[in-house]
Amino acid sequence: MSAQALAHFGLKHVAKGIGRLATDVIESGSGSYVTMVGGRRMLDFTCGIGVTNLGHCHPAITKAAQSQVGKLVHGQINIAFQKSYLSLVEALLPMMPHKSLDTFFFWNSGAEAVEAAVKLARHATKKQNLIVMQGSYHGRTFGTMAMTRSKTIYGQNYGPLMPGVFSVPFPYCAQCSIAANSNTGYGFDNCCMDPVLQLELLLKRETAPSDTAAIFIEPVLGEGGYVPPPPGYLSRVRQICDKNDILLVADEVQSGFGRTGKMFAIEHWGVRPDILIMAKGIANGFPLSAIASRKELMDMQPPGSMGGTYAGNAVSCAAGVAVAKTFEDERILENVNARGAELKAMLRSSSLNNDTARVIHDVRGLGLMLALECRPGHGYASKIQAKCMEKDLLVLTTSIHDTIRFIPPLNITKEDMAKGIGIIEDAIKDVAMGEDPVETGSRGQALE
């Protein structure tokens, strides 16, 4: 079938509930690029929404998976241990943000891992309630729908949802009404810490500490806008958890595995999570997720209470081992920080340039988890996204606020980063000058 015929077939037979950026059809990927069925080659600053962090079809990861396919594809974990599963645990142990995270459970997707963390937290504490952050994304399964607070579309008309979930504001300083409406100099470097107060009030008004099992938090807000917390915030949350015997769960599905310039984002603030959630970049595109916690909590669960048909698939685990080795062999984190600084410098320069500043509200992020938030009311982010696509660069929007997120491969070359930077800079200029893009796909409907 032709590219057009394939796209038409997809529109006819694939569930409409799946949003997508474009109706083109990807045929192959290599490194920082994807190639469409029609032959169009595009620089990919989406990485499958933060999954193929080491680029498409990385040779070492591909080789590891191919080798494993010839040995064992499915070694069901409830039958016996399988070697690649244990090898991945061994590879992950030294990468953990705290030595207390020494016991693992593997599953398939990020949402499943979140639900595994919910099971662990509720069982270990014998408490039911959960606290999540406004703007957070934790998944679209039935349990995680109740926890996701980034957009209403994920849970709209699917209720009643899982009970016992409460939400509090995340410190989103670029959208803080206190900072915007006071002369106190509040902002990211001098946060008013009202979200801490709101958390304390929630524990007094709505969910008593004796009923609260855990606080779930993305150390960098993901689908809510790629928002890092201000200095001191996560430490305050940790203190509240310790004071009230509440578990702190770090959802690093999107921010983990080097995306922010450290192996896990929570390392930027030196805060210890009780449970760590991982997925996406853990196996560079092979379905795999995990939770890690301390053995005393994990050992409370009776045998048989955890598992899953494909949990910790042998091929995915082999790919995960190769991912861990590649981070060390190729000094990935060094590249993340170098290339991230280059992209962020351009975005900040655009925010100060007289010709483009009027479309930009905020530039933020860590490493290669960066965001450009546009001034509201004009649809600037979708227009910039569409302009980038016209110039053969894939980027994604995110958040209820008008925001573009940049998720390039962590091992992107200096040359490919320069190419991407040039395209983004030109797209911002085009939109600032009033140019309207050609309609490109569904413009920003890759919802996650």
Of the pLDDT bands very low, low, confident and very high (cuts 50, 70, 90), residue 333 is: very high
Q: Average pLDDT of the chain?
A: 95
Per residue in 3-29, pLDDT (tens digit) is 889 999 999 999 999 988 888 899 999
What are the pLDDT digits (tens) for 376-421?
Answer: 999 999 999 999 999 999 999 999 999 999 999 999 999 999 999 9
Among 1, 375, 284, 293, which residue's Cα sits nearest to residue 121? 293
Tokens standing for residue 443: 């413009």
Cα dihedral 171, 175, 181, 185 in deg (nearest 10): 60
pLDDT, residue 447, reads 44
Q: How many residues does the chain have?
A: 448
What residues pair up with 131 in beta bridges, in sequence order? 166, 215
Q: At what angle do helices 59-69 and 314-329 cross, to 10 degrees?
A: 150
**What's the mean pLDDT in 165-177?**
95
Residue 442: per-residue pLDDT: 44
In the chain, the percentage of residues whose pLDDT exceeds 90 is 91
- 23 versus 335: the higher-pLDDT residue is 335
Q: What is the pLDDT of residues 204-239, one digit of tens each?
A: 999 999 999 999 999 999 999 999 999 999 999 999
Q: How many CA atoms lie within 13 A of 107 on its CB side?
A: 19
Q: What is the pLDDT of residue 446?
A: 40
Contact between 139 and 201 under an 8 Å Cβ cutoff? The reply is no
Across the range 148-166, mean pLDDT stands at 95
Q: What is the pLDDT of residue 71?
A: 97
Question: Residue 443: its pLDDT value, please?
Answer: 45
pLDDT of residue 390: 95
Judged against a pLDDT cut of 70, whether residue 284 lies above it is answered with: yes
Q: What is the dihedral of CA 12, 35, 380, 186, to 10 degrees?
A: 110
Residue % of the chain over a pLDDT of 70: 98
Q: What is the average pLDDT across 36-49?
A: 96
Contacts of 406 (CB under 8 A, 6+ apart): 45, 343, 365, 368, 369, 370, 371, 372, 395, 424
At 445 the pLDDT is 43
Our measurement of the distance from residue 241's CA atom to the centroid of its chain's CA atoms, rounded to an integer in Å, reads 23
The residue ranges of DSSP E strands in 83-239, in sequence order, are 103-107, 129-133, 165-168, 212-217
pLDDT-based confidence at residue 444 (cuts at 50, 70, 90): very low
Tell me the per-residue pLDDT of 104-147, one tens digit each, with 9 for 90 and over. 999 999 999 999 999 999 999 999 999 999 999 999 999 999 99
CB 162 within 8 A of CB 140: no
Whether the model clears a pTM of 0.85, i.e. scores above it, the answer is yes
